[in-house]
């Protein structure tokens, strides 16, 4: 075309290309260095929190919040270096966030519940709890959900909102747990011997704590048995091993001493009618 200064256009394109290339390289440098800085800051924060003895649940939550916040700031810096007006971008992101928030109310409620669980700390990682209709050992408390591991090694993922809105039973919160038993003997068995035997079994177990003291009492005269209530205090970690071992020990010891453990019985009386009548 006549009158077109191709040299001028080429120079202009070269200048624009060079300018954009410089901006792109600058943005990549900022992204690379920023990622290293974020990684360094997060690792440093984790080390400081670990040394100060902060709970693992709080550490994980703060790590996620700090990492997301720093990444948002980093990407705003990258976009700003590329010439994008970040004020407009923030407004767009805010509007989009509002729309997404309305669409994801359930997820946001899980986030809010997760924050409350972190702050109120009804349980921590490693505790055995019942909550949200599930029971297990807490493995992780995330932003959206809590992960439990069942005694048979199954993973259960429970939404935080379901746990926070339900009653929570923490079996690991206290330093001791009471183990309750009910053992029955026959009406013809020696009551005092059975009581002495139960006391000996409980006292002989090193897992039983002396304070509070254990209890062995006659609690019921049942239909087929005289029932003893036995209560002993142990550490939470010893609960189930002590429970199962004691049941086995009582059965074996009762057998050795001739003390019966009756099962439900019913006397049936048969009357022979006189055929002649």
For 177-189, what is the mean pLDDT?
Answer: 94
Distance CA 130, CA 120 (A): 17
User: What residue has token string 């939470």?
Assistant: 236
Mean residue pLDDT across the chain: 82
184 band by pLDDT with thresholds 50, 70 and 90:
very high
Answer for the pair 23, 83: CB distance below 8 angstroms, yes or no: yes
Give the distance, in angstroms, between the CA of residue 50 and the centroid of all CA atoms in the same chain: 20
> DSSP per residue over 186-198, as a string?
-TTS-HHHHHHHH
Alpha carbon distances (Å) from 165 to 116, 132, 168, 204, 237: 11, 8, 9, 43, 28
Give the distance, in angstroms, between the CA of residue 154 and the centroid of all CA atoms in the same chain: 13
What percent of the chain lies above the pLDDT cut of 90?
34
Q: Please confirm whether the linkage preceding 99 is cis (ω < 30° from 0).
A: no
- All domains of the chain in start order, with CATH: 11-103 (1.10.287.1260), 122-170 (2.30.30.60), 177-256 (3.30.70.100)
What percent of the chain lies above the pLDDT cut of 70?
78
Query: Would you state the pLDDT for residue 99?
Result: 59
Relative to beta strand 177-185, strand 226-234 is antiparallel
User: What residue has token string 């239909």?
Assistant: 223
The pLDDT tens digits of the residues spanning 235-270 come to 988 999 999 999 999 999 999 999 998 877 666 777
Res. 9: pLDDT tops 90: no
Distance CA 33, CA 70 (A): 13
Distance CA 254, CA 131 (A): 39
89 band by pLDDT with thresholds 50, 70 and 90:
low
Res. 190: pLDDT tops 70: yes
Query: Would you state the pLDDT for residue 259?
Result: 92
Answer for the pair 136, 153: CB distance below 8 angstroms, yes or no: no
Res. 97: pLDDT tops 70: no
Query: Would you state the pLDDT for residue 265?
Result: 65
Q: Terminal CA-to-CA distance of the chain, rounded, Å?
A: 135
In the chain, where do the E strands start and end? 128-131, 134-141, 145-149, 155-159, 169-170, 177-185, 215-221, 226-234
Res. 68: pLDDT tops 60: yes
**Which tokens belong to 226?**
């005289």
The pLDDT tens digits of the residues spanning 22-58 come to 777 878 888 888 888 888 888 888 887 777 666 666 6
Distance CA 162, CA 109 (A): 10
User: How many C-beta atoms surround the C-beta of residue 132 within 10 A?
Assistant: 21
Give the residue, 144 or 194, on which the prediction is more confident. Answer: 194
Is residue 183 classed as helix, strand or coil in its secondary structure? strand
Angle at 270 between CA 268 and CA 273, to 5 degrees: 160
* Nearest Cα to Cα of residue 257 among 186, 206, 203, 179: 186
């Amino acid at each position: 075309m006549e009158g077109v200064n191709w040299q001028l256009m080429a120079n202009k394109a070269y200048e624009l290309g060079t300018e954009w290339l410089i901006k792109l390289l600058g943005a990549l440098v900022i992204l690379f260095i920023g990622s290293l800085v974020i990684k360094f800051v997060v690792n440093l924060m984790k080390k400081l929190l670990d040394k100060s003895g902060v709970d693992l649940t709080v550490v994980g939550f703060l790590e996620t919040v700090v990492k997301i916040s720093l990444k948002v700031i980093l990407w705003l810096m990258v976009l700003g270096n590329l010439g994008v007006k970040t004020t407009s971008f923030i407004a767009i992101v805010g509007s989009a966030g509002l729309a997404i928030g309305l669409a994801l109310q359930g997820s946001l409620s899980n986030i809010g519940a997760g924050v409350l669980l972190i702050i109120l700390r009804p349980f921590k990682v490693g505790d055995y709890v019942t909550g949200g209709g599930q029971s297990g050992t807490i493995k992780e408390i995330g932003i959206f959900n809590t992960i439990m591991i069942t005694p048979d090694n199954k993973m259960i993922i429970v939404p935080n909102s379901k746990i926070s809105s339900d009653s929570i039973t923490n079996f690991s919160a206290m330093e001791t747990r009471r183990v309750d038993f009910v053992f029955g003997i026959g009406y013809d068995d020696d009551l005092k011997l059975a009581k002495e035997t139960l006391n000996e079994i409980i006292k002989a177990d090193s897992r039983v704590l002396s304070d509070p003291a254990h209890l062995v009492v006659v609690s019921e005269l049942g239909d087929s048995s005289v029932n003893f209530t036995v209560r002993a205090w142990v550490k939470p970690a010893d609960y189930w091993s002590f429970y199962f071992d004691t049941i086995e020990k009582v059965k074996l010891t009762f057998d050795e001493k001739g003390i019966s453990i009756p099962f439900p019985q019913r006397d049936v009386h048969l009357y022979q009618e006189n055929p002649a009548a």
